[in-house]
Amino acid sequence: MIGVFALQGAFIEHEHMLSELGEPWKEIRRREHFTDGLDGLILPGGESTVQGKLLKEEGLFLPVKAAIEGGMPVFGTCAGMILLAKKRANDPNSYFDVLGVTVTRNAYGRQLGSFRTDLAVKGIGQFPAVFIRAPYADRAEEGVEVLAETGGKIVAARQKNVLATAFHPELTSDLRFHAYFAEMVRRWQSTTTN
């Protein structure tokens, strides 16, 4: 079962993608929704400072951080990437700090700076990426696999059980990023059940 954080942001679109793939999911809004039956987590796009505040107010922040640090796969898109990054160039807040990149919030400007482009994504191929008030990463630590770049900036990365994109795969009809994440979840499930 994949937990989709439904505190704020574009979570419904992630749920549609998982449903199309036949992957079971449930919405996470409160501490009691975050149960032992979860095998993966999705942190959707939205407003990272609001999401970070709500995660703490709902008592979700510490158990989620512990689960990610314990190996549970997590997929963050846009704001989710900001929450997962170890460093934020223009945000003094501290969040999960589990992905060894330095991100810049709203790096492409306001809503008018939103755009679409085809990206070459390692392990996936050409992907129709949708950027909306998106971040990017300009530095990656050792151990971070850069999956995609545009304009010399990192827009998709993976480090062990952490997958993040600056763009919104859930706003396309292309299921491959969610299928990639579902495979990460299956591999983790196989190690925890043996």
Q: Write out the catalytic residue numbers.
A: 78, 168, 170
Contact indicator for 86, 50 with CB cutoff of 8 Å: no
Token representation of residue 193? 């059940």
Token representation of residue 14? 């992630």
Q: In sequence order, which residues have a C-beta less than 8 Å from that of residue 42 and are 6 or more positions away?
A: 2, 3, 4, 5, 11, 14, 74, 75, 76, 77, 80, 181
Nearest to 102 by CA among 153, 59, 172, 61: 153
